[in-house]
Amino acid sequence: MSRSESLAAYFRAQARRRLDRVESNDAGRNARSALALLDAAAYAAALPDDDPLIERLAEAGCFGGDGFDPGPEGTRLVRLWEGGEPRELILALPSVAATTA
C-alpha cells in the first residue's frame, strides 16, 4: 500500500469511527466530522507519494510498518476535525506528530 493510500485508509477508518458514535445532542458534530474526514481521504488518495505533503508526514515519522500513525496528538487532531480544507488537516499533522515522536 502506498503512503497516500495508507493516509486515505486512516482517514476513512476515523470517519467510520465517527459515524459509529451515538451521542445525544451532538448537533450533527459526528456527521460533520465523518464527512470532512471522507473528504480528506479522497484528497489524500489522489496525492502522489512524492507530494510535499506526503513527504512532510514521512519526515515526521507518520508512516511505519503498520501504515499511517500520526501518534497520540495527531490522532487527537484528526478525531476532533470537523471541517475545513483537507489540505489544512494534512498540513497540521506533521507538527503535532513531531511533538510526540
pLDDT tens-place string over residues 29-83 = 888 999 999 999 999 999 999 999 999 999 999 998 889 999 999 999 999 998 8
Q: How many domains does the chain have?
A: 1
- The pLDDT, as a whole number, for residue 21 is 79
Phi then psi for 81, rounded to 5 degrees?
-65, 125
Neighbouring C-alpha atoms within 13 Å toward the C-beta of 92: 15
Which domain does 66 fall in, by range?
3-98
Q: Which one-letter amino acid corresponds to residue 96? A: V
Which residue would you say has higher pLDDT here, 74 or 23?
74
The residues with which 68 forms a beta bridge, in sequence order, are: 63
How many whole angstroms separate alpha carbon 4 and alpha carbon 12?
12
DSSP state of 88: H
Is the model's pLDDT at 13 over the cut of 60? yes
Q: Has residue 101 got a pLDDT over 70?
A: no
Question: What is the torsion angle, in degrees rounded to the nearest 10, for the CA atoms of residue 46, residue 58, residue 31 and residue 82?
Answer: -110
